[in-house]
């Protein structure tokens, strides 16, 4: 079930601490047939509780601070990209070629927000950049044929499956055998010594350095949350691989952004790694190995490091090496079929797999740091959007959640930034004495030096 007790147990947390969590229930938050509100509440709840636990440990508090969840704040944060305004301008969520398309035998979902993905999609289909031409061509082909053809060319497309069809897939079977959060403990058992915290607000991750090698939503949401909690987060991207501007604005709060060519800047990266406490990666499994950035190599070069790896489909099974996004995972795993109608697939009320997995990842990092203060050892943490999807759909019958309830009003804030005047969704991670907002707004992509503050 998508409840906080299950997620907290998956993180290895003390069940007694769950009594420190209270919830303000909003019946209209994230309405869907699947229990999206409960997944969102649970993932944010364990993140806030893990932050409060680490903060109490470092500040030597007698009790773990109380956590207060508000479904309205959680729902707003889970749709943050929709609420963002930059100087009054609303972002564009999906490109014209990122959508469901009818095929000869069903539906296929494509993703072409990034220019290189759009080019690979069109090259695979041997078509011009014309939605009408793409629609006409796909209508004559089977969904599975499109899926395989586009993926073989490096593009992104998946056939929309029913839950039964997905359950029969080898990748679904591989995912079902894995825990919600994979945790591997490595190296000598030397306790990590973290300096004590003083002052206000309580910042559990203060003084910790996080290398952020992620893109899109889930990974950046995790590192954005660690930045909220006081970590020095440095995001690294390859030169010439700029993040989508609005996506960067939405998920760049609290962080610095630099570019580094890993092929020629290995000495610089090694210097960064030597002082890092956490490395978060969000590329498909194996994509960074050629740069010597596999989890095994990272933890060998930096003993005691926490490595958090995020992927779309998991680092196992026949789809382990495939790229993916929240929208594609929803289509493949049967979520789109459950949320849709006989006439057309549907979608969740938020990119909940992204936001939920991002908060789970941040929670796993925080719990790893807490455990290290007593037992030491480095950690490799593995999460995937597809495994979070399995958590959402496990044993849940369609129609259990209300679809017609009125949604709560969004909880928004505004600030000036180097990017302009921003309207944004505050973080839903809240606990007694904790931070209320990020210490800095996002700046231009890639404008910071590749060095620690």
**Angle between helix 36-59 and 352-375 (nearest 10):** 30
- Tokens for 288? 């960074």
**Could you tell me whether strands 378-384 and 209-213 are parallel, antiparallel, or unpaired per DSSP bridges?**
unpaired
- Tokens for 287? 């994509």
Of 326, 230, 322, 244, nearest to 278 by C-alpha is 230
Of 296, 224, 237, nearest to 265 by C-alpha is 237
User: How many CB atoms neighbour CB 349 within 10 A?
Assistant: 20
Cβ-proximal residues to 230 (8 Å cutoff; 6+ apart), any chain:
203, 204, 205, 206, 207, 208, 435
**Residues 401 and 33 sit within 8 Å (Cβ to Cβ):** yes
- Our answer to whether residue 354 is catalytic in this structure is yes
Query: For the CA atoms of the chain, what is the radius of gyration?
Result: 21
d(CA 189, CA 194): 15
User: How many CB atoms neighbour CB 451 within 10 A?
Assistant: 12
The Cβ-side half-sphere exposure at 91, using a 13 Å CA radius, reads 21
DSSP letters for 229-241: TT-EEEEEE-TT-
**Angle between helix 218-228 and 352-375 (nearest 10):** 50
Q: 351: left (phi > 0), else alpha (psi -120 to 50), else beta?
A: beta
Residue among 354, 394, 405, 448 flagged as catalytic:
354
Residues assigned a catalytic role? 354
């Amino acid at each position: 079930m998508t409840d906080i007790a299950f997620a907290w147990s998956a993180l290895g947390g003390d069940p007694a601490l769950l009594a420190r969590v209270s919830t303000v229930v909003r019946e209209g938050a994230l309405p869907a047939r699947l229990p999206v509100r409960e997944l969102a509440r649970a993932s944010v709840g364990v993140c806030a509780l893990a932050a409060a636990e680490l903060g109490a440990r470092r500040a030597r508090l007698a009790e773990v601070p109380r956590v207060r969840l508000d479904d309205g704040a959680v729902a707003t944060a889970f749709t943050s990209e929709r609420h963002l305004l930059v100087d009054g301008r609303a972002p564009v969520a999906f490109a014209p070629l990122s959508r469901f398309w009818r095929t000869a035998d069903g539906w296929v979902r494509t993703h072409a927000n990034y220019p290189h993905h759009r080019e690979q999609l069109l090259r695979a289909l041997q078509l011009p950049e014309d939605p009408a031409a793409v629609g006409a061509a796909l209508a004559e082909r089977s969904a599975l044929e499109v899926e395989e053809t586009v993926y073989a060319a490096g593009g992104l497309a998946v056939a929309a499956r029913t839950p039964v069809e997905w359950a029969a897939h080898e990748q679904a079977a591989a995912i079902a055998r894995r825990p919600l959060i994979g945790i591997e403990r490595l190296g000598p058992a030397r306790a990590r010594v973290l300096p004590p915290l003083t002052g206000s607000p309580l910042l559990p991750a203060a003084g910790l350095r996080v290398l952020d090698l992620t893109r899109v939503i889930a990974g950046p949401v995790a590192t954005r949350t660690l930045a909220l909690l006081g970590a020095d987060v440095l995001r690294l991207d390859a030169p010439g691989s700029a993040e989508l501007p609005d996506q960067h604005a939405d998920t760049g709060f609290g962080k610095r952004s630099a570019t580094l060519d890993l092929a020629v800047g290995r000495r610089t990266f090694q210097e960064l790694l030597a002082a890092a406490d956490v490395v978060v990666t969000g590329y498909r499994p194996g994509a960074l190995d050629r740069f010597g950035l596999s989890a095994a190599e990272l933890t060998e070069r930096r003993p005691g490091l926490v490595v958090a790896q995020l992927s779309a489909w998991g680092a196992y099974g026949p789809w382990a090496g495939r790229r993916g996004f929240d929208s594609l995972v929803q289509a493949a795993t049967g979520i789109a079929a459950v949320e849709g109608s006989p006439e057309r697939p549907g979608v969740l009320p938020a990119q909940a797999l992204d936001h939920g997995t991002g908060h789970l990842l941040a929670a796993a990092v925080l719990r790893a740091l807490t455990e290290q203060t007593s037992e030491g050892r480095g950690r490799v943490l593995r999460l995937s959007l597809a495994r979070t999807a399995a958590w959402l759909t496990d044993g849940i019958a369609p129609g259990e959640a209300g679809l017609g309830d009125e949604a709560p009003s969004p909880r928004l804030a505004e600030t000036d930034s180097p990017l302009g005047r921003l309207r944004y969704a505050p973080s839903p991670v809240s606990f007694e004495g904790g931070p209320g907002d990020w210490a800095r707004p996002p700046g231009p992509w890639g404008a910071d030096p590749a060095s620690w503050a």
